[in-house]
Structures are given as C-alpha cells and as structure tokens.
Chain A
Amino acid sequence: MPSRTVIPFGPQHPVFPEPLQLTLTVEDEKVVDAVPGLGYVHRGLEKGAELNDYIKNIYLAERVCGICSFMHSWTYCSCIEELLNIEVPPRAEYLRMIFAELSRVHSHLLWLGLYADAFGLESLFMQCWRIRERCLDMQEAGGGGRVILSTCTIGGMRRNLDEDMRRAFIKEVAEIRRDFERLVPVFLNDYSIKKRTVGVGVLSKEDAQSLGAVGPTLRASGVRSDARMLGYGPYKEVDFEPVVEEGGDCYARGVVRVKEVLQALDLITQALERLPEGEIKANFRGRLKGEVFKRMEQPRGEMLYYVKASRNKNLDRFRIRTPTFANIPPLLKMLPGCDLSDVPVITLSIDPCISCNER
C-alpha cells in the first residue's frame, strides 16, 4: 500500500492570485482527496449591506470583486429597479451591456494570462495582459475608472458616451480583436498547451449539472446554459448564442473562454452600432418593499442576487451567490485522481475568485 501524505496547497501559492487553501491527500503523486479551506478574505459584506442605505450599497456591491465589479453594480441596480418599478432608458441598458461585455473581455484575458502562467508559458501571459490593458484604457475613457467604474446607478447610467467616443470604441474593439486573433491559434493548437490540458480535470455532463457548476465550467461540459439566454437588458435584441464545448476538460474550459472573448467583442460592436439615442437616467421615487431574485451572467458564470426590503432605506437581506461559490464543488470532484503537478492548472480552470466567493 502506498503511503499517504497530506499537503497544504495554499493559501499562499505562486499560481493562486488569491488565498484559497486546498488540503490535498496524496498517494505517491496522485491526489486522493481535497478539502477546501476558506475564510481568508471574508469581509462580512452582506452584513454591511444591511447597515448601509440602498444607494450606498451600489458602491459596496461593486467592491465584491475587482474584476467583474461592473456586473455586480448592474445586478444590484436592476434588483432595486424591479422593486421600485423603474423603467430604465434603452440607451442606458445598451451602455450597461457594453461595459459588462468589456469587463468580460478583460476578465477572460486576465484569466487566459494566468492560465498560461500556470502551465509555464510566460510570454503568452504577457501578451494576454498587454491586450487586456487596452480594455482597461477603454473603461477608463468611457467610465472614468480602470477597474471599478461606478457609472452604473439606480435608474440608469451616470456617464454618457458621445459620438466621437463611440467611433473610437468601435475602432479600438476591432484592434483588440485583431491582436487577440493572433493568440487564438496558440490556445487552440499549441502542442505543449494541449499536452498539459487535454483530458486533465474531466467533468462529465451529469456531474456538472448535479454539482451545480455554472458559466464556462458548465458549458465546457456540453450543457447549453447561460444566464444571458434569459434575455435581460439588451441581450434579447442582439444576436447571441452561448459557446458550448463537449470535452469537459481543462482544454475545453480554455476554448470556451477564448471563444467568449471573440463573442463578447462582437456583442460590444453590435451594441455600439445599435446604440439608441435618448436619456441615460430615469428619475424615481417610492418606497422599497418586497423581495426579488435576479440572475445575470458574469465572466465566471451565473450570479444570483437576492434583495429583500420592508423598511424604507435599508435592506432586510442582501445575498449574493457568486459563480465561484457554485464552482468549488465541481473542482473538488475534478481533483481526486489527478497528478499533483496538474492541481494548479485544474484549480485555475474554474477561474476561482476568492474575494467573490467569501464576500
């Protein structure tokens, strides 16, 4: 019988951008069991939201995560808009979609870079992040901040996009696409990438569904499910078809994200070309009362917000189910049976965002 060793993997590990601990039980070089250790960046944000008034919570929601911050504020604002029966002007909805897809592009590029770093391709990591920088510059030009934009507000948007900026955005998106298309063949065909990712960390379609996987992790296992199919905001008006892969391994999860970058760039161009004229913010009044569940698709997958209010200004309950929270059980299913050297690649393949996860 081979001897068993327990290896604490993380919380501080060179490949993890954020503190996640995995207690791995290893038999020779094979992982037998994995137990997650959480709570290193728990901030009690849901409790904080009950103490703030509902306007301040927009900024709190944005700070749940640094990468997908815009989508958090969009989801939160749309929850409050539903409770107060506010009709958001179409131009604001399109602007929201543009920034949401822009943050999807930069989040996926960040992940593709870290993923390349995890299997040792430093130059690819640099290339991805170089392209990502252009997205951040666009966000700064259009929203005012590089990562946390604070442009989404209840009833609409805070900042408009003028005609010059709109044209510049269309041009810039085309250039990002041109740059990224040069990297796509590397992710899809490179021998060493395939060697490290094909058949590693396989998650079957049944397991993905029963373990509640979301986002690219679910779609890479062949399940056609994307919260954008619900048709919130302008998604019902643009051409959108979720990216689905059949492999269920790390390679398929990478391919889904590569294709989603191209798709998101396409969605941004569509939205910029169709951008309706008009107001960007609706006025509102009323009392917060009732409860609402709202789902939106983040770069990492489906996110669920629950807001319950019966008092005037404060919320009774504010709950966020972030995509990483749903993707940790599938990760624990993928790890047993793999080599210790594959653990970084498999863990990164679900795109763990621990500050989202622990809130």
Chain B
Amino acid sequence: MWDKRCRLVTVTCVDLIDSLELTYSFDHNLELVHLRVKAEKDRPFPSISGIYYAAFLVENEIQDQFGLRFDNLHPDYQGFMLLSRDAPRTPMLRQVEERGRNEDAV
C-alpha cells in the first residue's frame, strides 16, 4: 500500500464478541481499498504507525475504546488519549455494555 502511494484514510474497529475486526481503508486515486484482519482481544497487535505515521492517532483511539494493545506504537498514550483517568475503561466493547445492563437490573 505504501509502495503504491496509497493514502491511509482510517482504521475501523468492530467488536465481534470473540475477536476484533480491523478494517484498514486506503485511498488510491479516489478509490477506496479495504483490508480486513481479525485481531485477538488479549494479544498485542502490530502497529502500522512505523510505516504510516498518521496511524498513531487512530491506533491510540482503538486502544482507548477497545482495549486492544498495539506493538511499537509511537507516541503511545497508554489508553488515555481521548479518555480521562477516571473514565470507564474500554467503553466500546460489547461486554461492558451488557455488564452495565445487568448491574442496572440488580
């Protein structure tokens, strides 16, 4: 992608309960090209910020919202880029939503 001079548009993370689905979107002459990979929730995933520097923002955002750790991420906000220290952790994960509901029911 880098060799073809594609522009990184974004990375989209979706929680599939048992794993996370990452979609890397690139723009090549106004055409969107998507690459889709699955990541395990509790294993660090390789960062592409070494190749595409611009990816550091979106990878930090995914780290905040989904708790997926990235290897060799720089700068690494340790999961506190958007969220403050006292905010709930990994708010976009499905289980958190369900746990919240159960607590409400009790």
Q: Report which A residues bind B (CB closer than 8 A).
A: 35, 38-39, 42, 44, 46-47, 50, 209-212, 225, 227, 229-230, 293, 295, 302, 304, 306, 308, 316-317, 319, 321, 325-326, 328-330, 358
Query: Chain B contacts of A35 at CB under 8 A?
Result: 75
Q: Would you call B70 an interface residue if the criterion is a C-beta within 8 Å of the partner chain's C-beta atoms?
A: no
User: Is A304 within 8 A of B91, CB to CB?
Assistant: no
Which residue of chain B is the closest to A35 with respect to CB atoms? B75
Which residue of chain A is the closest to B60 with respect to CB atoms? A38
Cα-based distance from A42 to B8 in the complex (angstroms):
23
| Size band of the interface chain B makes with A | 20 to 34
Listed from nearest, the 10 A-B pairs whose CB atoms lie closest are: A321-B10, A329-B54, A212-B54, A42-B82, A39-B82, A317-B14, A212-B8, A306-B12, A211-B54, A319-B12
Secondary structure call for the A interface? mixed
User: Is A325 within 8 A of B58, CB to CB?
Assistant: yes
Which residue of chain B is the closest to A51 with respect to CB atoms? B97
Interface string of B34-55 (1 = CB under 8 A from A): 1000000000000000001110
Query: Chain A contacts of B97 at CB under 8 A?
Result: 50
A141 to chain B, nearest CB (A): 35
Query: Chain A contacts of B54 at CB under 8 A?
Result: 210-212, 326, 329-330
A79 to chain B, nearest CB (A): 13
Question: Contacts A329-B53, A329-B56 hold; do A293 and B8 have CB atoms under 8 A apart?
Answer: no
Which residue, A227, A230, A325, A329, has most C-beta atoms of chain B within 10 A?
A329
A119 to chain B, nearest CB (A): 28
Instruction: Identify B14's interface contact among A44, A229, A308, CB under 8 A.
Output: A308
Which residue of chain A is the closest to B6 with respect to CB atoms? A209
Secondary structure call for the B interface? mixed
Q: Would you call B84 an interface residue if the criterion is a C-beta within 8 Å of the partner chain's C-beta atoms?
A: yes
Question: Contacts A42-B83, A304-B25, A317-B12 hold; do A209 and B7 have CB atoms under 8 A apart?
Answer: yes
Question: Contacts A35-B75, A47-B92, A212-B52 hold; do A325 and B9 have CB atoms under 8 A apart?
Answer: no
**Known contacts A212-B54, A304-B25, then 16 further A-B pairs from the complex at CB < 8 Å, ordered by chain A residue:** A35-B75, A50-B97, A210-B52, A210-B53, A211-B53, A212-B52, A229-B30, A295-B9, A304-B10, A306-B12, A306-B23, A316-B14, A317-B12, A317-B15, A319-B10, A330-B54
Interface residues of B in 50-93 (CB under 8 A from A): 52-54, 56-58, 65, 75, 80-84, 91-92
Q: Would you call B99 an interface residue if the criterion is a C-beta within 8 Å of the partner chain's C-beta atoms?
A: no
Query: Chain B contacts of A329 at CB under 8 A?
Result: 53-54, 56-57
Cα-based distance from A149 to B97 in the complex (angstroms):
32
Query: Chain B contacts of A42 at CB under 8 A?
Result: 82-83
Which residue, B32, B53, B56, B83, has most C-beta atoms of chain A within 10 A?
B53
User: Is A328 within 8 A of B75, CB to CB?
Assistant: no
B68 to chain A, nearest CB (A): 15
Query: Chain A contacts of B75 at CB under 8 A?
Result: 35
